[in-house]
Amino acid sequence: MAKTKQSRAGPRKSWWRLTVTMLVTVTFFTLILLALRILSASSALSKPNDLNSIARNTHISQGGEDHDQGERWVEIISWEPRAAIHHNFLSKEECEYLINIAKPDMHKSKVVDDETGKDVDSSARTSSGTFLARGRDQIVRDIEKRISDVTFIPVEHGEGLQVLHYEVGQMYVPHHDYFTDKVNTANGGQRIATMLMYLSDVEEGGETVFPRAKGNFSSVPWWNELSECGKKGLSIKPKMGDALLFWSLNPDATYDLSSLHGSCPVIKGNKWSCTKWLRVGEY
């Protein structure tokens, strides 16, 4: 009597079915863990007005004391207004160069008159300053190109750099950079953003303050180092080479009222800064 030959197809199919099931299960749980991790990280970073996650404004050196250029990195500090610090945006040489070429032409700072569009004296602004012609030399052109690269706004849409000097007691009361009249928008259109570059450190005072910013101001790491003026809003301490970029208009082109900002009085030291206003059209 002939023996029946057993087929191995059954056990083989069971083995493959078990392997596939295990792979699918492992993959499923892996995806869940990854999703939970991503969501956790996202929730920690997506709180628009939570200032606890702001890193301390420290200098990350890439060499010895003679090496003036630290690591460049961007730190979002506010969503209302939209603002970020571009750390080590300028080198020490660039800061000193801007100060030196501006010194011979410094004069009392003025403000723009809404009705005439002309510069007028005002007690609200007590600094001294001067404008540098756009593209005046290679160093200025390099800085303007760098600003254009990080803002995605063409160089032609920016006003000339304005170098400012604040001595002890000097300040600029809170104001908006956008225009509310037609005279000042005739050439280049509305100001949409500002790049404020710090050319020197300030021992005490001189903070850039946003009194209408949204957030728990006292949670920033440098809170205890701020002057009384600096504690009246979200404040940034000047640090040589850093640049503060903030937007004066909302994404829908309406005025961002929370972009109100000012320069606190300098208490000790000197403050040098350089401002670049960016417009919607060619200036």
Percent pLDDT > 90 in the chain is: 64
Q: What is the per-residue pLDDT across 193-252, written as a single tens digit (0 to 9) for each?
A: 999 999 999 999 999 999 999 988 888 889 999 999 999 999 999 999 999 999 999 999
Give CA–CA dist 131/124, Å, rounded: 19
**pLDDT band at residue 124 using 50, 70 and 90 as cut-offs:** confident
What size, in residues, is the chain?
283
Residue 92: per-residue pLDDT:
97
Name, in order, each residue with C-beta under 8 angstroms of 137's C-beta and a sequence gap of 6 or more. Answer: none
HEC string for 155-173 = HHHECCEEEEEECECCCEE
Give CA–CA dist 104/124, Å, rounded: 24
What does the block give as tokens for 144? 């303007």
Beta-strand pair 204-205/161-166? unpaired
- One-character DSSP codes across 58-121: ----SSSTT------EEEEEEETTEEEEEET-S-HHHHHHHHHHHGGG-EE--EE-TTT--EE-
Q: What is the per-residue pLDDT across 29-40, written as a single tens digit (0 to 9) for each?
A: 666 655 556 445
The whole model's pTM is what? Answer: 0.78
Q: What is the per-residue pLDDT across 135-168, written as a single tens digit (0 to 9) for each?
A: 999 999 999 999 999 999 999 999 999 999 999 9
Residue 99: per-residue pLDDT:
98
Residue 220: per-residue pLDDT:
87
Query: For residue 115, is pLDDT > 90?
Result: no
- The pLDDT of 267-279, averaged and rounded, is 97
- The pLDDT of 107-113, averaged and rounded, is 81
What does the block give as tokens for 254? 């309406």
- The pLDDT of 1-10, averaged and rounded, is 52
